[in-house]
Amino acid sequence: MPKDLKKSGSKKPVWDAKAKALLIASVAQSKHAGEIIVYQVGELTSLADFFVLCSAESEPQIRAIVDGVQEALSKKASHPLGIEGREASLWVLVDFNDVILHIFKKEAREFYNLDRLWGDAPQIPLPSSELQAPQSEKRRKGRAK
């Protein structure tokens, strides 16, 4: 059995929340999200096991991140319980039960400051340091090549 799957009481494997959070972060990165952080919040709240926070520069980018994550997770038979804030597109929350994705426009991320609120939660290292690099830094790296 793949290590990102675990057995539940039923015969159906349950997808590991950490693997789900890392896939969400990877999809967000592929859509050029910035400041991606995965917090392990399960010990601090009953809302979810992981929060994935990221920043976007525009409403179309926010929509692309939401759509990309939904598409990737639907292939793993995981669908959101709800999506909030899509109309306003300043802060969009996508609830996958054990993982909640928060996509912010920069000014909303600074205003709501969830990074400060959940900063005591352990951060999950992302597979590549590229995921954590701010967008402007990634662009500079891309031009230097």
Q: What does the pLDDT look like over 35-50, one tens digit per residue?
A: 999 999 999 999 999 9
Average pLDDT over residues 100-107: 96
Measured torsion, CA atoms of residues 64, 58, 139, 122, in degrees rounded to the nearest 10: -70
Tokens of 98: 């054990």
The amino acid sitting at 69 is V
Tell whether 139 is covered by a domain: yes
- The Cα 92–Cα 107 span in angstroms is 13
**pTM greater than 0.85:** no
- The CATH number of whichever domain residue 70 belongs to comes to 3.30.460.10
Write down the pLDDT at residue 84. 95
Tell whether 63 is covered by a domain: yes
Tell whether 56 is covered by a domain: yes
Q: Report residue 135: phi and psi, to 5°.
A: -55, -45
Q: 114 lies in which domain range?
A: 13-144
Mean pLDDT is lowest, of 25-29, 46-50, 140-144, for: 140-144
